Structure formats: structure tokens, C-alpha cells
Structure 1
Amino acid sequence: MALAVAASAALLSGCAAPTGSTADTPAWATPAKWAGAPVGNAATSLGQWWGRFDDPVLSSLVGQALASNATLRQTEAALRQARAVSDVQAAGLLPSVGASGSAQRSRTAGATANRFAAGFDASWEPDLFGAQSSAVAASEADVAVAKANLGDAQVSLAAEVAANYIALRGLQERLAIARSNLASQQETLQISNWRLQAGLITSLDTEQARAAAEQTAAQVPALESSLAQTRHALAVLTGQPPAALDAALADAAPVPQAPADLALAIPAQTLRQRADVRAAEARISAALARVSQADAARYPSLRISGNLGLSAATLGALTGGASVANALLASISVPLFDGGAARAQVRVQEAALEQARIGYEATVLTALQDVEDALVALQGDRERLAHLQAAASAAANADLLAHQRYQSGLIDFPTVLDTQRTLLSAQDGVASTQVSLANDHVRLYKALGGGWAPEGDGNATAMIPTKNTRP
């Protein structure tokens, strides 16, 4: 037996250790600053960024979604699965030990005989060339990917809830504008009818007034349908039946707006705050470990096993006077010919590593674009809103003057129609742009990392609200 173990050791000592890949996480050159905004001395904390909108209902909805959303719970289960797989791989580095027992009763020629046996088995496969440790490293990287995926899901969910809530408040505002303008147009239609009866105008003016009122009235049910669908979407996002929030969100409220004092981190720091970038990095680590694992599979493997058995006629005799049998075995497996399958498997993993590296570069570029696009949209919508607010104010004045002059017979009816259409368009544009501006802030917060922080960065629970309440 000792000779066999010595021969195995000699054979293994003559084998060259595998050469692992030297590929590392790619060092992507990020810009020094953002083109769309100056960088402050200290970046604004984005932990629970939705609180910057100063809207308790929004904060409550986000908290409920993070606690109860079905898709998020599914992602959490995927993380638990990845951790369990990692534990399975780590267990492979340790020896395995088992125990067995048996009892036998036999009768021969009228004589009865009992036999009791107990035994222990142990086996261990030393990780000579790092195949098992590489598998463990790959599974640990998979856990990091799952953690980052969970963080990305949390960021996306919070942003989706905020976007739907902002859309809901915008639809309520637009619905109020449509109803207000409809009331004004119906009043104008009534005045037209009176003037028609007095013979001051023709039926053409009355029909034009009716057409304008009906067109505005047609917008009301469309806005009401969109409003109900948005409430349903928010309910499902928070893990509730579609109609659960109808009563809670029935009352109108202004479109929430975030303050404009956000200080941005430098691009490199922003990338570290994004869960999708961290996930892409972890995928490279997992792919690199699997290259090493596939390379190590081309080399010999050693397995050591042994067993100890006790046998006696009675249970009591097992602890003293039992016959003992033991064995120790060392075996070596050396791949000689596999048709190139092992080398091909290495190439498979190397190609997977290259895909992970390219995927990382694409993720970084997308992250940089997300921030720059959000900054450009934010600046553009701020300027657009200022112009639309001025236009809406002027249109309201023009509409008031037109009504007064029409009632006095100083202007014709088409002028009144034009001022009404201009007012409705300007007010609706203001409401829509307020929604766009608020959504630009949401997009920017999400692009900057959305408040997520990996474990160990001192802010790992930033995405989880301290208290979840239903609105």
C-alpha cells in the first residue's frame, strides 16, 4: 500500500502545474468629468433618493414595493440559490466522512446466528492543480453577480414606482386642466346660443363652439382611462391587486419636483455605485475562474479513501472484542486521450471570458450615456418649462380678454376659439413638461446608481427604507 502511494506521489511531482489565464478586469478609461454638469466638492448622497421629492405618498409606495414586489422577491430567491451553490462548491474542498451499520439474523440447521456490523468511510480529493478552488472562486463570483442583480432590481423598481407615481400626478393635473377648459368652452357655447337667438351671430359660430367643446370633452375619458391604468400599475408594483390603491390615490396632488441642488460624483465613482457595472465585473471574475478550472481538468487527479469496519455477534461486543477490518486506498486518474475535449473546453471558457469583458465595456459605456442623457434632458426640460409657463400665463390673459371682447361684440368668434385652443395647449404642455422634468430627476438618480451600495461599502442598506407603510 505504501508503495502505491509513493508511486502516485512521484508521478504527480513530475507533472507541470497548469498555467492560469492572466486576464484581469479591464481597466476602462472613464472621462474625468461629466460634460453636462459641473462636479461638486462632495457628491449628494442618493440613499433613499425618493425622499428628495418631499412627497410622503411616493416614499410610502416605494417602501411598499421594495418590501412586497413579486419580481424583487424572485431576485432575492435567486441570490439565496447562488449562495447555496457556493456552499456546495466550498464543501468539495473538505474530506467527506460517512457511517454505516447493519444487523443480520440467520438460521442454519436449527441454529440461529446474529451478526452486527458498524463502519466508517472517508474520502478526500486533494486540490492539486486548483480545479476545486477555481470552482469555488467562480461560485463566489456568481454570488456577487446575484447580489448586484438584486441591487439593480431594487434601483429599477424604485425608479419605476417613482415614474408611475409622477405620471399619475401629471394625469390628474392634465385631467383638471381639460375639465376646466371644457367648462369654459361650454360657457362660451352657451353665450353663442344666446347671441344666436338674439340674431347677433350665425349658426356657424355656435357649431364651431360646440365642436371645440366636444373635442375637449373627448380628452376627458382618455385621461381617466390612463389615470386608472397608472393606479393599477402602481398597485401591482407594490405587490397588491390592481384596484387596491384606487381610494388612496383618488385625490389629486401636484406633480412632485426634486430640488436642483444635486452634486454629481466624478464618472469613475459613479460607475462604482452602479449595480449593473459591479455585476459585469463579477461576471469577468467568474469567467476567469472557470478558465482556470477547465485548464486544471487537463491534469491528473488524486483521490484518497479509507474505511474502518467492526463486526461482532452482539451489539455489546462492537465496543470490545469485535473483529476489525480497515483499508486505505490512493488512486490517481490521468487523462491520456479525449480527442481534444479538455482543450476545447478551455477554449469555450476563454470565449466566455472574452464575452464577459466585452459585456463589461458595453455596460460602462451605457452607464456613461445614461448620466449624460439625463443631464441633457434635465437642462432642456427646465428651459422648456420656463417658456411654457410664460406662454400659459400669456394665453390665460389673452383668453380672458377675448371672452370680454366677444361678449361686447368687439371681436369675432374664431378669435375666441384660437385663444381657447392656445390656452388648453399651453396649460397641458406645462403639466406634461413638469412630468418630464420630474422623470428626468428620476432617470438621473437611477443613472448615478440609485442609492445602491454593495455590502462592505458602509451603505449596503441604502435602498431599503427603515419603515414601510401602505398609502
Structure 2
Amino acid sequence: MTTPNIPATGRLNLAIALTLAISGCAVGPEYQTPTMTMADTYLYASPDKNDASVQAVPKGGHLTGAVLTKSATVNKATLPAHWWNHYQDPTLNRLITDMQNQNLTLQIAAQRIQIADNYKQAVESFKVPSVNIGGGYVNYQLSKNDSLLGPALNPLGDLSPGLPPQIGNTTLLDNQHDGVFLGAGIAWELDLFGRIDRQSNAATIRRDQAEIYRTGLTTLLTADLIHNYIQYRGAQARKQLAEENIADQRKTLALVEKVVASGYGSDLDLAQANAMLAASQSILPQLDIAAQVHKHRLALLLGESLSDIEQRLEDKQPLPELNSAIPVGLPSDLLTRRPDIQIAEREMAAINEEWAASVANRYPKFFLTGAPGISAGSFDDLFSSDSFGWVGSAGVSWNLFDGGRGKALEAINEARFKGAALGYEQTVNAAIAEVDTTLFTYGRSQANQHQLDAALKSSTQALAKAKSLYQAGLIDHLAVLDAQRQQRMMEDRQIAAKLQTAQATVAVYKALGGDWQI
């Protein structure tokens, strides 16, 4: 049997044709995005054990089932973008805008996105041939005592003394050589089994995760800023109320002192008036501490000094309140907007690609290499046609035995994927619980605030009636002080209830994800 005489270029082209013919043989598990199906709305009512369920069963490299169901019967509502604008507080809006632009933690997260982007580009570079060029001048001298080339460098007469002088003094090679060269090296791995492609997919997913992480971080930091701003305004409002209360109590104390001095009052009334005034004054340092803590937190979020924050907060603003209440029923598909759920799902996808890459790594690797160039003894001859030369090759590498290392790496990635699937399930379950809890808390906070509004109205009426009866001499001042204490306590509790409702509102919007980026 004779072997056909195929030219070198023909053999190279044949190798390329054969490798392209068997391309598309990607191996490894294929990923299927887990599905989440929910009802149209989500209630804060506590679900039965069968109302919500998530199943994540990794099999064959993908999540075979991840179904989330929740029943509800109220109308759909939408989550507004930039919902804090409904507070109609220009100072708060400016703080949020500046924080999102200059917060150091967000800037670090942006750098993580840049790193992931560059890493993705670096991995994708393995898909295309690598080309490098080089050139230079070379000068070298061969050793005449070399066991291999030495005889060719010495005169022929040294080997055969009987030769004529004109021949005996001749050498086959010169021991001094120099020259110039210019060439290129080309290398390309044919990704027949998708190893490089899978690694590239994983890098792309990691880049997406970095973007989602920054989005989630924006949500958390914006919620933190809104919370601290509202709490600061609440401390201001409570301090203003306490100062008004102290001013009233001082007037009352002066009145009691006059009554006691005239002999119509008792020392008990005077002691009680002094005690109530001292108790009200003791609240002021606590409120100052609270305001200072929240100002420091705002300064940290914005990366500014405390004096800058105090300058921003110079204007007296009332306690922010939303113009409209959050609907009790909300679209349950808003859960899919949560960054933690998105990151958990992308983690599964990235590990699945890394798992597939480890599978493909156990298959043969095919390479094409080439090295065209020009070389000559002098620069004048470098670019002549006779100076051109090249070498090309097609090769294969297959690690048939590695002591089980490849199989172990594949098993590690499979276990990582199963762990990521369980983590996804846990994240969804935690999201359900958080949304359910925050909506329930918001609803009960509103109910509490309505009750306190009614209590404040009644206590205000009771105080006015007590003052009228005291002026008429029908009751003693003790009853007036008690009514005044009840009324001021209700005012303070009303502000505290508003702060609780505002905190629950922020928690609801944070739990439901949404658009927090300016």
C-alpha cells in the first residue's frame, strides 16, 4: 500500500478542514434557567405551608424545577421608580443623587465591574489566534573543539594530512556568523469541545454578577440613607416637641409657684410640676445623641465631613411622609427584581459553565501553529524573495492519565452546582419571608399610627377640658398636669409611629427590589 504524496500546504489545509468538520462537539451539562411562576399579587398575610414552595433539583447539569407559587386575590399594583420622590423633600432627593454619585463603596463596586469586564476580555482572547512578531540581529561563533561541529570548522588537512595545501587549508564551515531576521509566530487552539467557549461564558456571567451586585448595593445604601435621613428629621421633630413641652411646663410651673405663694396651692402640685419639667428636659440629650448618630451615618454614606452634612441639613424640613400608602397587594413577580435572587441564579449559571469547561478539559486539544519569517546574512538581502521561510504544524494533545485529577475537578464543579442550586432555593425562600414580613409590618404600622392619631385627638380635647375646669376651680392642678402629660406623650408617640411607618416603607421597597438608580 502506497502513501499519497500530499504537499505540506495541502496537509495543513486538510488538517484544518478535518477539524472544522468535527467542530460543534461541545460537551458538558447544558444550563436551563430556573422558572419562577407566581400569582398576580402578593399579600402580607401569612401563607399556609403549601402556599409557597421552591424546588431545585440539579440533574444533568441544570435545574429541573424551581417553581414559586403564591395565591392572592387583590388587584395588581406597580412599584414606582424613584419612589422617594413621593416624599416631596428636595433635600432628601439631593442627598440620594449625590450619594449614588460619590459613595466610596459604590465606586469600589464599579471597579469590580471593570475588573470583571477586563477578565472577560482576557478569557475571550483565547478564542482567536495569538500572533507575535519579532526581529533582530544575531552574531555567534561556533567552537572548533565542539565534538559535533568542530571537525567541519578546522582545516581539512588536520583530518587528512596528505591533502594538497590548497585543499588542506579549506574548512567546511566558518566559525563566525551573523545575520538579521524578521518573523512572526502564530498559534491557535481549535476549541472543538467548547472548553474555551464555556470559560468565556462563565466570565461573561461573572461580569453580569458584578453589575447586579452594584445594583443591589445601590439599593441597600439608598435605603440606609433614606432611613437615617428620616430618623434624623424624626429626632428634630421630637426635640422641637420636647422644647415646646418644656416651655409650656415652665409657664405652668410659674403659675403653680404663684398659686402656692398665695396660699391656695399645695407643695404636692409644685413638686409634681418640677418633676415633670425635669423629666422632659432629660429627653433633650438623648435626642441630640440620636441626631448626631444619624448625621455621622449620612456623612459616611456621602463621603463628606460632618460640617458639610450639617450645612446640607440647615433647612428645617418636616418629617417626610409619603403622599399615598403602599397598596396591600403587590405584583409578586417583583421578587424577580431582587438582586440577591438574580445573583443566586447567575451563580448557578456561572458554575454550570465552569463545570462544562472541566468536562471539556478531559477531551483532546487541537492546535494550529505557524512561523513565517525572513532571514539573511545582511540587511540588504533581508527582503529578497530567497530570504523567506516558514513552518506550520497541526497537533493534538490528550492527557490520557492524570491520576484522576480531571475527574476530581469535574466532580468538584458538579458539587458546586448542586450547592448553588440549594443556595438559590434558600435565597428565594428568604425573599418570600422578607417580603411577607415587611408588608405585614407596614400594614400593622399604619394601623398603629391611625390609632395613635385618634388617641392624640382625644387627649388634646381632654387637656382643653381640664384647663377649663381648673380655671373654673372645679379640679385641682394635678388633673391638668396629668392631662398635659397624656397629650404630650401622645404627640411623641405619634411621631414615633410615623418613624416606624417610614422605616417599614423603606423596608418594603428594599425587599421588593425595583429601580433605585438615579
Contact 1:18 1:295 (C-alpha < 8 Å) held by counterparts: no
Contact 1:49 1:450 (C-alpha < 8 Å) held by counterparts: no
Aligned-residue RMSD, C-alpha: 3.1
Contact 1:271 1:449 (C-alpha < 8 Å) held by counterparts: yes
Q: Give the structure 2 partner of residue 162 of structure 1.
A: 226
Distance 1:410 1:451, change over 3 A: same
Q: Does 1:30 align with 2:32?
A: no
Q: Does 1:362 align with 2:426?
A: yes
Counterpart CA distance in 2 for 1:265 and 1:186 is 50
1:4-23 matches, cutoff 5 A: 19-22=27-30
Greater displacement, 166-175 / 405-414: 405-414
* SS of the residue 1:330 aligns to: strand
Counterpart CA distance in 2 for 1:29 and 1:114 is 75
TM-score by length of 2: 0.79
Distance 1:177 1:255, change over 3 A: same
1:17 offset after TM fit, Å? 6.0
Map Cα deviations across residues 97-126 of structure 1 (whole Å, 9 max, x no partner): 000011235799xx9975211110010111
1:402 offset after TM fit, Å? 3.2
1:287 offset after TM fit, Å? 1.0
Distance 1:39 1:132, change over 3 A: farther
Q: Does 1:94 align with 2:128?
A: yes
Counterpart CA distance in 1 for 2:388 and 2:280 is 97
Q: Give the structure 2 partner of residue 459 of structure 1.
A: none
1:292 offset after TM fit, Å? 0.2
Letter of the 2:368 counterpart? I
TM-score by length of 1: 0.86
1:385 offset after TM fit, Å? 1.2
- 1:429 corresponds, among 489, 493, 515, to 493
Map Cα deviations across residues 240-268 of structure 1 (whole Å, 9 max, x no partner): 12221212313332222223365665212
Q: Give the structure 2 partner of residue 456 of structure 1.
A: none
Q: Does 1:208 align with 2:242?
A: no
Contact 1:232 1:243 (C-alpha < 8 Å) held by counterparts: no
Q: Give the structure 2 partner of residue 249 of structure 1.
A: 313
1:217 offset after TM fit, Å? 0.4
% identical aligned pairs: 28
Q: Give the structure 2 partner of residue 455 of structure 1.
A: none
Contact 1:97 1:121 (C-alpha < 8 Å) held by counterparts: yes
Map Cα deviations across residues 103-160 of structure 1 (whole Å, 9 max, x no partner): 235799xx99752111100101111211111101101111111111111112222222
Map Cα deviations across residues 294-328 of structure 1 (whole Å, 9 max, x no partner): 11111221222221232223334221155334222
- 1:267 corresponds, among 319, 332, 347, to 332
Greater displacement, 192-201 / 5-14: 5-14
- 2:109 corresponds, among 41, 62, 75, to 75
1:21 offset after TM fit, Å? 2.2
Letter of the 1:34 counterpart? Y
Q: Does 1:379 align with 2:443?
A: yes
1:344 offset after TM fit, Å? 1.3
Q: Does 1:312 align with 2:320?
A: no
Counterpart CA distance in 2 for 1:101 and 1:23 is 47
Distance 1:38 1:378, change over 3 A: farther
Contact 1:26 1:357 (C-alpha < 8 Å) held by counterparts: no
Greater displacement, 70-79 / 270-279: 270-279
Q: Give the structure 2 partner of residue 59 of structure 1.
A: 93
1:407 offset after TM fit, Å? 5.3
1:426 offset after TM fit, Å? 0.7
Bigger Rg over Cα: 2
Q: Does 1:324 align with 2:376?
A: no
Q: Give the structure 2 partner of residue 300 of structure 1.
A: 364
Counterpart CA distance in 1 for 2:176 and 2:371 is 29
1:151-190 matches, cutoff 5 A: 151-190=215-254
Letter of the 1:175 counterpart? K
Letter of the 1:73 counterpart? Q
1:417 offset after TM fit, Å? 3.5
Letter of the 2:87 counterpart? F
1:210 offset after TM fit, Å? 1.4
Letter of the 2:92 counterpart? L
Counterpart CA distance in 1 for 2:299 and 2:313 is 10
- 1:279 corresponds, among 340, 343, 352, to 343
Contact 2:19 2:192 (C-alpha < 8 Å) held by counterparts: no
Q: Give the structure 1 partner of residue 156 of structure 2.
A: none
Counterpart CA distance in 1 for 2:321 and 2:331 is 24
Contact 1:196 1:206 (C-alpha < 8 Å) held by counterparts: yes
1:31 offset after TM fit, Å? 4.5
* SS of the residue 1:319 aligns to: coil
Task: Report 1 or 2 for greater relative contact order, CA contacts < 8 Å, sequence distance ≥ 6.
Answer: 1
Distance 1:11 1:23, change over 3 A: closer
Letter of the 2:113 counterpart? L
* SS of the residue 2:355 aligns to: helix
Counterpart CA distance in 1 for 2:11 and 2:141 is 43
Letter of the 1:153 counterpart? L
Distance 1:414 1:347, change over 3 A: farther
Contact 2:41 2:75 (C-alpha < 8 Å) held by counterparts: no
Counterpart CA distance in 1 for 2:492 and 2:326 is 28
* SS of the residue 2:371 aligns to: strand
Counterpart CA distance in 2 for 1:38 and 1:259 is 25
The runs of 5 or more residues in structure 1 that have no matched partner are 453-462, 465-471
Contact 1:5 1:330 (C-alpha < 8 Å) held by counterparts: no
The runs of 5 or more residues in structure 2 that have no matched partner are 1-7, 45-71, 143-174
Distance 1:25 1:411, change over 3 A: same
* SS of the residue 1:195 aligns to: helix
* SS of the residue 1:125 aligns to: strand
Contact 1:12 1:300 (C-alpha < 8 Å) held by counterparts: no
* SS of the residue 1:20 aligns to: coil
Q: Give the structure 1 partner of residue 5 of structure 2.
A: none
